[in-house]
Structure 1
Amino acid sequence: MTSIKTKLGIMLGGLLILVCIGLGWVAYFTSTNAVYTVAEELSTKTATESARVVEERINTRFSELLTIANTAEIADPNILPEEKMFYLEKEAKRGGYLSLGIGDTEGETLTMAGITINLKERDYYQQALGGKSVVTDPIISREDNTTLIVNYAVPIQEEGGNIIGVLIGARHGDELSAITNDIVLGDTGTAFMVNQVGTTVAHYAEEAVRSADNTIEMAETDPSLTSLAEIVNRMTTGETGFDEYNYDGIEKFAAFAPVGNTNWSLAVTVPTEEILSSLDSLKSNILMASILFLIFGLLLIYFITSRFARQIKGIAADLNVISNGDFSSDQSIQTRSGKDEIADTYRSMSTMKKAVSAMIKAIKDTSILINKDSESLDVIAQQMSSTSESVATAIQETTQGVSSQAEGLANINEALQTFGEKLEGIVTDIEDIDLNAKDVNDMSNKSNEDMQLLIESINVMESTFKDFTDKINGLNQNVNKVTEITSLINNIAEQTNLLALNAAIEAARAGEAGKGFAVVAQEIRKLAEQSQLSSQNINLLINNITEDADLIIETTDGLNQELSTQVNVIDGVINSYKNIVEAIHSIGVKIRSANIATMEINNEKSTILARVEEASAVAEEVAASSQEIAASSEEMSASSEEVASSAKNMGVLIGSMLEQVNKFKI
């Protein structure tokens, strides 16, 4: 069995190792972040200061050229360019320029070599004409087409301030690389510059400048340059920043910043390993400190666990004495001074020993008393059992009588319920008859009213037919008058026809003089014939109308007779309806009286039924209570027997418990 000392040592030692490792890792991680932060700040500051140095160098060149451009020998437009060359040769030699040239506003530029070059299309030349000092990227000289140069261009102004030309100073192209090579960060740090499109303008490898290397374009075919191309791409935007990249398998830091008054950006690079080299010694120091703290902690843990284990063993020994039931010795538990948990445990064990000893003594005394009481309880239980048997017999006889009474009341209740159901059916039927009688009475009253309306309608119709017959007779009379008129018109037409015939005859006798009259007579004869024909048609129509009117008169006479007959029949029906309504009203009164009486009987039946149910329920409750009392008596008898048996068993158990208690030493 593994001791508690070993277990505590393993747990605390493991915890200590874990803490040391965690603290070491946190210290290393924090230090690494701090070094990264310092490297970023230092590199960025170095790049910014270096860009400022380059800017100052370029501004110095601008100042030199502006001083030359503002001299009277150069600014005077009356002096020929050839004469100015002598002065420029001296200044070029003094300032270290490869060549100096003067150009006019048309771009015609004369160099010290006597070569005239047109630079009007060059962007830097146009900017200089605009009054701005400009420096170009490293380019191949157009004088010899071999030398790598950097041109500095400044405007030439006359006394009035007008720009009359451009002064161009050409310096060696490697001069920019020489400036960046002077920039040092750490032991192996380097610097380079690119323009706004990523082309190299200054580099520690001069061939990169001559070949105008563009890292962004090279990364398209060489994936290993991707990380560097990303930094160069950020540089082309004029950003100031810090980043990491991999070049030829070496991890490097790069800080970059834009160069003022140019479109260039300068970057300072240094290997990551060089910056983080101080972390190696820090790592070793942290490891050594962790090992020393670990050894010291393990020794301290060994001392603490040894002391704690001795105290635990003392507690185990004291508990072993108590486990054997020995509570008699005052020296069985040793006390410990102090205020820690171990001392509290010793004091608690001492208190527990005293309390358990007192409890066992009390249990022993109580058991003796319970043993005596159990013997008395056995005698009482036997007496209760005999009494409960007598009570149970009497209650059973009472229960039988009450049960018989409850059965009789239940039969009466069933008979009353059957009577009630039939009576409710009669009440329902009478209510339905009463409702139907009311409906019939309402319908007969409605029908009587409808008959009255029908008679009134027939009377109106009869009056209307009489008016219609009178109008037909009047129409017949008017038609006869029209017939007389048409007869008169017919006679007039015949006479007119005869007159026209006579007129025609007389016109024929008159010859040419009577031709016009003959035409008139002919037209009159035609009108007479047409009038006669129309009167004949009118007579024919009037005869038809007269015949139709006679038929209508005959028909209306028949309708009048039928209407009179219907009025008589309807009068008889109305009298019959009145008799039916009176009879139905009399029946309704009697039905309502019967309904009221039936409802009163139904209510009294409900009262009788409720009382019988109450009596039956009471009888059933009495029977049930009697049965419950009988069952309780039987249960009490059984319980008395169980109490007697339990008293005997309790006496046996108490005897056994006393034997066990006597084993303790108190």
Structure 2
Amino acid sequence: WYSISSSTNALSNLAKSELEEEVNDQAKNIVAFLNSINDDVLFLSKVPPIQGIIRAKAGGGVDQQDNSSYDTWVKRLQTIFTVMMQAKPYYMELRYLDEKGNEMVRVDWDGTKIEVIPKAQLQNKANRSFFTETIKLSASSIYVSPVELHREGGVIKKPYTPVIRYATPIFDSAGVQRGIVIANVFAEQVIKFIRDADLAIKGEEAFLVNKDGYYLSHPNPKKEWGFELNTDDKLTKDYPKHIAQQILRGEQGLIDQGTNKLISYYKIVPNAQQGQPLFVIDHVPKGKVFASVNSFKILASLMIFVSLAAVLPLAIVRLRQLVNLIKQLVNGISTSSQEMFSTLEQQERIAGQQAASVNETTITMDELEASCRQSAEQADAAAIAAQQALQLTENGTQAVGETLKGMSTLEEKVDAIAKQSMRLSRQTNRIGDISELVSELANQTNMLALNASVEAVRAGDHGKGFAVVAAEIRKLADQSKQSAQKINVLVSQIQNEINSTVMVTDEGTKTVKTGVQIAQKTAQAFTGVADAVNNVVLNNQQISLNLKQQVDGIQQVLQAMSTVNKGAKETVIGITESRVGTEQLKQAAVELKRMV
């Protein structure tokens, strides 16, 4: 009877443990999936095309920082959304809305093809709850909608398509709210974790309910989506009220009192700030769990009574034969126990090696995940650095443009100086000619004054006064000649200086033209550098996205390796326990042999 009781308790505890583990595994798969969506939405909100669209929109259609057009940035964001959908086909819609709720970029996936929605079909979603709730949030915060059925024009679309939305606000470089990024996700992927769960216990059923107890997944599809289809199928209808309340108010647990079922549940909270939890529930009828236990108890009891009834009348006659038989059995058990012990010992060693190998593999995958995550962070940093380099290149291009304008202005001024110098040279030549004429006139005046003096001498006393006048005229003529000579010297010096100025100006003109050509080449080089850096930015964004996908894949492998590692450890423990049991059986056989 003690053995029967022990077996009953062991089977009960095993069933409870399996039920709890299955619920925990289902819940953890859902949490991992929802966390990956959370990370993807934050990643998409930080890609450069969104800020490029904001700047281009503010700049009248051109990004003043990048010189890219609004349409160019839109196409880049559409490309990123498309790549994300190709890599993860559970995204139904990816959108960027501005601060007024207008759809700026939208890419859809219906399960068969990806479609970039043209500008003419984009809509305003300012009155939708997902926009009004998300626009209130701070940077890097996430809005998560309830799981609900997809609607078109306010009408539930058939066949039913469950959807959940993740959104985050967008801010520009000045911290001003500039809209939201939102992802519509096929929630069927979440429900599949429940529907496709590998239920180990016969008669076991799995459910997924929302915070109000309505079924999102149920073995009977007619009970699903009661809150959308206006039916009253929910948890409180199928469970006692206190059991339903215990589940909806709890975190996780096992219920085996007050009901004819074993019930295990686990609470999932996609967003702690919003309070829209989901509950994973597995239950199995107690009759299914304990059917084998009850059968075992009945069979064992019958065997005991039948054995007693058959053996007691023949006990005296068959006692010696029984003792001999027991001896043979003990010898066989002893031999078999020894062989089993050796085999189990070898299996334990092999299982231990396998567990160690699995553990090493898990450690290696952890390191690989950390390496990929670090590479993704470095790729993000490289993209940011490239964006900064692009900004510096644009500043350089602008500075070269301003230099080019200045050189052009300088060239015009130098040309003006050269022309003015040539005009001045011509006027100076004219002054020289006039000065020569003045000198010639002074010589002629001097000769006339000399002739007048001679005539005045001839005239005697009557010509004395005229002689004085002639002498003064000759002095003035001499002074005029000297002044004309000085003017000629100055004109000659001025002409030399003007000629030097013209030569220097000509050299300056050539230098300015050379500078203009160099500046033009520099501007062209900066334009090429800007294009190259822009390509680097896009490539780094793609690399970052690919590395992020690798990290997600490695995380899934790590989950699988963790499960394998756990199984390997449990195998080692089981073999060890079997070895200990075999050793005990061997000792019992030896003791029994000694007794008989």
Q: What is the TM-score normalised by the length of structure 1? A: 0.35
The structure that has the greater radius of gyration is 1
